Amino acid sequence: MKVRVADIVAACPQCGEIEFAAKGDSMRAEHLRCTKCGAETTRAQLLQQIGEEAFHRSAEGLTRLRNERRTNRKP
C-alpha cells in the first residue's frame, strides 16, 4: 500500500521505497513495514513526512510568487 495525500507520497525513511505492508492483520494497522527493506514505521510518521513536504512546497510557492511580484513591478 502507498500512504499518500493528493500527489505527495510517503517514502521509507531508510531506503526511499513507497510501498508498505500492514504489520498486523488489518490494512488499517497503525504499524507498517517497508516492502523493500523491512524497516518499521507508523502511519503517523509517514503522514508527518507528507505534511512536511506539503509545507516545503507551500513555502517554495510563496517565495516564487514574491519573486515574480518583485520582477513585475513597474518603477
Place of cell 508527518: 48
pLDDT of residue 69: 87
5 falls in which pLDDT band (50, 70, 90)? very high
DSSP secondary structure code for residue 30 in this structure: S
Output the pTM of the full model.
Answer: 0.78
